[in-house]
Structure 1
Amino acid sequence: MSEKEKLKITAILLAGGQSKRMGRDKAFLKLGEKTFFRIIIEKLNVYTDQIIVSANKDKEIYLSQLENTDINSVFVKDKDPYAGPLNAIVSCMPYIKNQLVFIATCDTPLLEPELIPFFVKKIDGYDAIIPVVNGKKQFLNTIYKRAALKIADKVYEEGKNSLYAWVNRLNVQEVAQEELKQVDDSLLSYWSINRPEDYERLLNIWQKDYY
Structure 2
Amino acid sequence: MPADRESPNLHALILCGGTSRRMGRDKATLDFAGEPMLARVVRRLSATIPVENILCVAANGQALPPLPSPVRIVFDRQEDCGPLEGLATGLSALADADAVFVTTCDAPLIVPEVPEFLARQLANHDAVVPRINGQLYPLTAVYQPRVASVADSRLARGERRVIDWVTELDVRYLSREELTAVDPELVSMRNCNTQEELEELLEVHAKTRKHVGR
TM-score range (shorter-chain normalised) is 0.7 to 0.9
Q: What does 1:71-90 correspond to in 2, within 5 Å?
A: 71-90=69-88
Structure 1 gap segments, 5+ residues each? none
1:96-134 CA distances to partner (integer Å, 9 max, x unpaired)?
A: 131311111111111112111111211102110010123
- The residue aligned with 1:47 is 48
Judged with a 3 Å threshold, the aligned counterparts in structure 2 of structure 1 residues 205 and 47 are, in CA distance, closer, same or farther, namely closer
Q: Matched residue pairs, number?
A: 202
Is 2:191 the counterpart of 1:188?
no
Match of 2:117 in 1: 118
The question of whether the paired residues in 1 share the 8 Å contact of 2:89 and 2:148 is answered with no
Cα drift, residue 209 of structure 1: 4.8
Report the secondary structure of 1:42's partner residue: helix
> CA deviation digits over 1:85-104, x for unaligned, max 9?
00111122442131311111
Aligned to 1:133: 132
Q: In the aligned structure 2, how far is the partner of 1:185 from the partner of 1:162?
A: 29
**Aligned counterpart, 2:3:** none
Q: How far, CA to CA, are the matches of 1:41 and 1:169 in structure 2?
A: 30
Give the deviation of 1:6 after TM superposition.
8.8
Is the CA contact 1:51–1:73 (under 8 Å) kept in the aligned structure 2? Answer: yes
Give, in angstroms, the shift of residue 18 of structure 1: 0.8
Preserved contact between residue 129 and residue 140 of structure 2 (Cα < 8 Å) = no
Measured in 1, the distance between the counterparts of 2:207 and 2:174 equals 30
What is the root-mean-square deviation of aligned Cα atoms in Å? 2.1
CA displacement 1:171-201 (0-9 Å, x = unmatched): 1111101110000000111112111111122
What SS does the corresponding residue of 1:46 show, helix, strand or coil? Answer: coil
TM-superposed deviation, 1:21 = 0.8
Tell me, what secondary structure is at the counterpart of 1:140?
Answer: coil
What is the 5 A alignment of 1:1-211? 7-49=8-50, 50-56=53-59, 58=61, 61-62=63-64, 64-66=65-67, 69=68, 71-96=69-94, 97-209=96-208
Among the aligned pairs, what percent are the same residue?
30
Q: Secondary structure at the match of 1:125?
A: coil
Letter in 2 for 1:156: L
User: What is the distance in 2 between the residues matched to 1:210 and 1:168?
Assistant: 35
Distance 1:80 1:24 in 2: 21
- Partners of 1:116 and 1:52 lie apart in 2 by 14
